[in-house]
Amino acid sequence: MCIAIPAEIISIQGVYADVDIMGVESKVYIGLIENPKEGNFVLIHAGCAIQKIDERYFYYLEDTFRAMLDGDD
């Protein structure tokens, strides 16, 4: 099973971007998505942005991950 995590693009440097993943900044490859921009919400898998997502889905996923990490039902 594979898992992708939601992130927001903070800044872009060529084919790499700094992203915010639940408050943690990370550098990821963005060459797999079309026309990435700062502020875009994306799914990250294995260090690569693999898909853009809308804001509503981003917050749904982030809330779901936070609940899992906190042990909430």
Q: Where does residue 14 fall: left (phi above 0), alpha (psi -120 to 50 degrees), or beta otherwise?
A: left
Rounded-to-integer distance, Cα 41 and Cα 46, Å: 16
Structure pTM? 0.89
* 55 pLDDT higher than 70: yes
**Confidence grade of residue 54 (pLDDT, cut at 50, 70, 90):** very high
DSSP string, 35-62: S--TT-EEEEETTEEEEEE-HHHHHHHH
Rounded-to-integer distance, Cα 61 and Cα 67, Å: 10
**Confidence grade of residue 70 (pLDDT, cut at 50, 70, 90):** confident
User: Rounded to an integer, what is the distance from CA 9 to the centroid of its chain?
Assistant: 7
